[in-house]
Amino acid sequence: MSLVELRAGGPQLSPVVAGAWRMDSWGWTPAERLRWIEQCMDLGVTSFDHADIYGGYTVEALFGEALALQPALRQRLQLVSKCGIKLVSAQRPSHRLKSYDTSAAHIVASVERSLQALRTDRLDLLLIHRPDPLMDAQEIADTVTRLQRDGKVLHFGVSNFTPSQFELLDAAVPLCTNQIELHPLHLAPLHDGTLDQAQRLKRRPMIWSPLAGGRLFSGTDDAALRVQAALGSVAERLGSTPATVAYAWLLRHPSRPVPVAGSRRIEALREAVDALALPLDAETWTEIWQAGSGHEVA
C-alpha cells in the first residue's frame, strides 16, 4: 500500500491510520502490543495516531515500550501525536483544572515528553489537539519552527479547528491537515466549510471516530438505526461489510480523507483497508447521507 501526502511536500502517511488512544484499556503485555503494531504494518497501516493525553498520559509510553522490543520498526512507521489539552491527572500534578494551553512552553514540554514516551527522536506529525481561545498564532509558529529546525517535529497540523481558526494559524505556519470528526451521524464538516477549505487548499483531512465510536452499529436512537439499515443494505448489495461501507463513504469525498481506525482488532483494521478498493457512486453515498441527516437533499 502506497503512502499518501497530506499536502504537497507534507508528511506521507498510510491511507488508513491506526489509532492507539484506547491502548491503556487493552490489558496487553509489551509483546502483545508489538504484535498489534506488526500486524497493522502487515496490512499496510504504517501510521499510528497518538495524543499526549491518551490513557491519562499513559498510552504513548505503552506504545514506546512495545516499539523498544523491535526498534528497527521505527524507520518503517510514522508517528502522529497531539498536544494542547491539559487534563487534571496524577501524571500532571501541576494541572489545576482541565484547560487548553498552546503556549510555547507547553508545546515544547509536551513534545519532549512524547518523544521520551514513544522512545523516538522525532514526531512525523504534530497536531494542536483543540483550538485554544487564547491561541497566539505567531507564538505557535515560532515554536513549531524551532522544533522543526531541531528535527523533533517534521510536520505540523491541527485537529478540530474551524475554517477561520485554520486560516489564522495557516497564515503564520503551514498546516498539513485538520483532523476532524466525520461520519454519517456527524455531517457538519460537509456543510460548514471545513471540507470545502480542505479541498480548496489541497490538505487532506484526517478523520477521527470514523465509526462514531461504534454507534454506527450499536446506537439505538432513530438516526443510528437509520444509518445501520442503510449501511447494511449497501453492504449486502456490494458484497461487503457495513464497517467497510462506512469507511468507503468517508473516502468517497473529494477532499480525500485519511481515516483513523482505532481498534485493537486487526479484522477491524482490515475492514478499513478494504474500503480503499470499494468505490461508491454518488447515489449510494447520498443514500447513507440521507439516513444520517434524516431527510432528502433539498
Q: List the grid coordinates of 258.
A: 485519511
Cβ neighbours of residue 83 closer than 8 Å, sequence gap 6 or more:
51, 52, 106, 107, 110, 111, 114, 126, 127, 128, 129
Q: How far is CA 260 from CA 39, 87, 134, 247, in A?
A: 16, 23, 28, 10
CA 265 to each of CA 15, 123, 272: distance values in angstroms, whole numbers, following the listed order:
18, 25, 11
Q: What is d(CA 259, CA 277) in angstroms, rounded to the nearest whole number? A: 14
Instruction: Please confirm, yes or no, whether 57 is among the known catalytic residues.
Output: no
Candidate list 54, 57, 100, 247, residue with the active-site label = 54
Distance of CA 224 to the CA centre of its chain: 22
Residue (of 211, 209, 210, 182) closest to 195 by Cα position: 182
Identify the bridge partners of residue 89 per DSSP, sorted by sequence position.
Answer: 92
Angle, in degrees to the nearest 10, between helices 266-274 and 30-42:
20
Cα separations (Å) of 268 from 102, 253, 271? 34, 21, 5
Residue 74 is classified by DSSP as G
What is the C-alpha separation between 151 and 139, in angstroms, rounded? 19
The residues carrying an active-site annotation are 54
